[in-house]
Amino acid sequence: MHDPVLLARIIGGAGFVAALDQSGGSTPTALTNYGISAHDYSGEEEMFALIHQMRSRLITAPSFDGRKILGAILFEKTMEGEVDGTPVPDLLRQRGIVPFVKIDKGLEDENDGVRLMKPIRGLETLLGRAKAKGVFGTKMRSLINEASSGAIGAIVDQQFDIANRILDKGLMPIVEPEVNLKSKSRAECDAILLGALTKALDKQPIGRRVMLKLSMPAAPDLFAPLVGHPSCARVLALSGGYSQEEACDELAKNHALVASFSRALLQDLRAGMDDEDFDRVLAEAIERIYRASTVKTANNPA
């Protein structure tokens, strides 16, 4: 069973979910954007040590707390790590932030316009460790590049098959079938995905809710009907390569979605900043994303 206090916060709380789950493939880019080049480290061990330092600085900054941040998605190594002797999930909960962990192991090669998830070997063991560490839920990502009803249906089926295994362990799954924003058939992909997700949610037994993390649709508010579905706990929006300004502008058009941004949250933070400047820039980003998640236009209130 889910912690009822954390579940209520995730379902009805104001704020957004910070995505701090860059994996081995995306970590070099994240470090480069932070001002640490590939010449500054040697090998994966040093690379992951540096990204842990960045994440530690982020989650201990005064502005990074539960007043405007609902949750944070962690990379597996970060979930296992500590900050000044405190396990990262414990530290997040102390700051009022609900911890999640990324569990997918990357994507298969493209087939029929989509990229399914690779097999998640050791899933049960990973879920057991996450539960023991007080993690509330998980996140797993697939990718949709072209409009194919059968292939998009296969992505949703795979996501929900694993989501139900996660629910069996008492964790909340975040299902992320990302639509590539550069897809030439993006609007059609969105429409097919909406239908497939609706069918999958309809099949869920009463009380077995999932969260969704979706690309912001070409047609604003297309995904709004999913928010009220009894099998959907919350619908998050990913930034998908948008800049912070662009992502917030797009999010403000989608009145039922709240942010779960990574690059758009971190884009202006640099390793060379002193702590005061670091927290000031972070606080400005948090405020901007929070407002886009919670404060909508007068013509279309949230």
CA dist 193 and 149 (Å) reads 8
The closest alpha carbon to 167, from 123, 198, 133, 202, belongs to: 123
CA dist 75 and 295 (Å) reads 29
How far from 35 is each of 31, 56, 180, 194, CA to CA, in Å?
A: 6, 16, 27, 39
Whether 102 and 73 have beta carbons less than 8 Å apart is answered as yes
Whether 174 and 236 have beta carbons less than 8 Å apart is answered as yes
Q: Which residue of the set 146, 176, 178, 250 is catalytic? A: 176
Q: Which residue of the set 213, 245, 246, 287 is catalytic? A: 213
Q: What is the DSSP letter of 107?
A: B
Whether 218 and 186 have beta carbons less than 8 Å apart is answered as yes
CA dist 163 and 77 (Å) reads 21
User: 213 an active-site residue?
Assistant: yes
Whether 79 and 89 have beta carbons less than 8 Å apart is answered as yes
Residues with a catalytic annotation lie at 176, 213
